Amino acid sequence: MGLDFDAVLIGAGHNTLAAALHLAAKGWRVGVFEQAAVAGGAVKTGDYTLPGYRHDWAAMNLSLFAGSPFFKTYGAELTRHGCAFVPVNRPFASSFPDGTWAGVSTDMAETLAAIRALSPPDAATWESLCSRFGAEAPHLFGLLGSAMGFRALAYFMLKTLRAKGVGGTLDMGRFLLSSPRAWLEETFAHPHVRAMLGAWGMHLDFAPDVAGGAMFPYLEGMAGQAFGMVIGQGGADTVTRALVASITARGGVVETGASVARILHQGGRATGVDLADGRSITARRAVIAGVAPRALPRLTGGTTPAFDTSMNQFRHAPGTMMIHLALDGLPDWRAGAALQSYAYVHTSPSLDQMARTYQQANAGLLPDEPILVLGQPTVYDPSRAPDGKHVLWVQVRMAPGTITGDAKGEITATDWAAAAEPFADRALSILEAHAPGTRAKILARRIVTPPELEADNPNLVGGDQVCGSHHLSQHFLFRPVRGHADGSTPIAGLHLTGAAVWPGAGTGAGPGYLLARKLAGN
């Protein structure tokens, strides 16, 4: 088979794979080249501890993918190629140091009972918010699913004005600019209810006091109540494997272990890529780079000074550490056995604690009390472990990519090779405080530090799993930079995609699908 394609795609993350599948479906010949040995980027699964224990490397929650416009179009095809999901009716909960908990279930009565145990007024507020979600969702999801340009934004604003009026539109604008803390403190009375929802902001680099972050705790809470969660049957790589199979079945090529050394361009137009092994690959119509912005100037050798400077100045969020545990049994949560039935359990005691953790990590310090996102996928998908056994997916937020010190004054190491074990022990001590006896159930563990995440996937700079801060100055029209929210670059035919491009992080494949539709004309 020749080394010439209509589109050459760099990286086999889910966004580039989604773009490749759509272009292949439109008759383009596509070639995807991935430097890692396994396709998927952050969406992959493996036996990282013991044989038969399948752990999601980074992404576990596939709700955005399952509910995406891309899956609506290609779901039947992907299902034929093995993509399968497991529905989750208890998506998330929080465990608190005082022995209480709160959680969201698709059973409204169950959610209200959990919130009412903390605060009856907050239960009433929750019920009221949920009753209005159906009217608000089209506006918010419409914004997040739109192409991000002046014309598209103007059209969205016009539609919103017609539907909500001036006052309603201004209220929505204020909400979109609000920090998680501002909205949560205006809306809920109990600090635990605020913390339960505020933890979701941290997933997208929105600490409690960061403007523009209120939308994400709101959407995760409302969507969790209305739809639950979706995880991959057998692992998150069900998505990746099906995408690769679909592309291949349509005549495309997906090659792993194939690192791209440079992007070729002549006369201001992209013409292909050179691989590190010496091969040259021709792209007749487009080169699509699924890379972090800072990598683009290196691959191109330079575009325009202003664009390259913006790419190099692109800001990344603090990193994360992953701890994969093979367990003899589920954690015995001190707050109650009910927590064993939730897909995610957060340990995020308060908005103040989250704000402190975020600032510590931003300063390069190992946080004294990192936030834990504890995934219990085997509750819903027992196939991920041997009979009666479990895997625990532990995401430690936040963790600095480069360590300058320890906020607690206990860990002296400033290199991850030496700091990984004691910092992981700090995280597991927090888990132990919430679920005594968990350490004794650990059969094996695998620690993945921020530098290891980046080494495996260069897009996760410093362990940043969302490929760039989503703060207002780097979101919407400014993601990754003003004038290029559609993934365009100064080189004709060269396009950027992935979580660094609007609409940003998550498993929804929005950046890849929007770009492919633009290139294909529909």
pLDDT given for residue 162 in this prediction = 82
> How far does the chain reach from its first CA to its final CA, in angstroms?
28
Per-residue pLDDT of the chain in tens (522 residues, 90 and over written 9): 458 999 999 999 999 999 999 999 999 999 999 999 999 999 999 999 999 999 999 999 999 999 999 999 999 999 999 999 999 999 999 999 999 999 999 999 999 999 999 999 999 999 999 999 998 888 778 777 777 776 777 767 777 788 888 888 888 889 899 999 999 999 999 999 999 999 999 998 999 999 999 999 999 999 999 999 999 999 999 999 999 999 999 999 999 999 999 999 999 999 999 999 999 999 999 999 999 999 999 999 999 999 999 999 999 999 999 999 999 999 999 999 999 999 999 999 999 999 999 999 999 999 999 999 999 999 999 999 999 999 999 999 999 999 999 999 999 999 999 999 999 999 999 999 999 999 999 999 999 999 999 999 999 999 999 999 999 999 988 999 999 999 999 999 999 999 999 999 999 999 999 999 999 999
Please tell me the predicted confidence (pLDDT) of residue 98. 97
The amino acid sitting at 287 is V
Cβ-Cβ contacts under 8 Å for 393 (sequence gap 6 or more): 55, 56, 60, 322, 324, 373, 374, 375, 376, 377
Under 8 Å between Cβ of 464 and 322: no
Phi and psi at residue 95, to the nearest 5°: -105, 135
In whole angstroms, how far apart are CA 477 and each of 124, 370, 468, 482, 509?
37, 32, 15, 6, 18
The tokens of 148 are what? 């991000």
Q: How far apart are CA 93 and CA 229, in angstroms?
A: 12
> From CA 38, how far away is CA 424, in angstroms rounded?
26
Domains in the chain, ordered, with CATH?
4-46+58-86+235-314+467-520 (3.50.50.60), 108-221 (no CATH), 318-456 (3.90.660)
Instruction: Report helix, strand or coil for 343.
Output: coil
Q: What is the pLDDT of residue 1?
A: 42
The residue assigned the tokens 């760039």 is: 468
The residue written with tokens 């550490």 in the block is 321
Give the helix ranges, DSSP H, for 208-290: 215-227, 237-249
Q: Which residues contact 346 (CB under 8 A, 6 or more apart)?
A: 92, 93, 94, 95, 196, 199, 371, 372, 373, 374
Q: What is the dihedral angle through the alpha carbons of 349, 351, 357, 358, rounded to the nearest 10 degrees?
A: 150
DSSP for 167-219, please give it.
Answer: HHHHHHHHHHH--HHHHHHHH-S-HHHHHHHHHHHHHTT--TT-TT-THHHHH
Residue 486 DSSP class: T
> How many CB atoms neighbour CB 521 within 10 A?
6
Spatial separation of the C-alpha atoms in residues 516 and 76, rounded to whole Å: 19
Q: What angle is formed at CA 196 by the lines to CA 350 and CA 407, rounded to 5 degrees?
A: 35
Please report the pLDDT score of residue 395 as a whole number: 98
Q: Two tokens at 340?
A: 């064993």
Q: Which two tokens stand for residue 115?
A: 């919130």
In sequence order, the 6+-apart residues with CB closer than 8 A to the CB of 159 are 142
pLDDT of residue 2: 54
Residues 324, 448 contacting (CB under 8 angstroms): yes
In this structure, the strands spanning 4-10 and 30-33 are parallel
One-letter identity of residue 169: T
Residue type, 517: R
Q: Say which DSSP state 144 is in.
A: H
Q: What is the dihedral of CA 181, 372, 377, 379, to 10 degrees?
A: -90
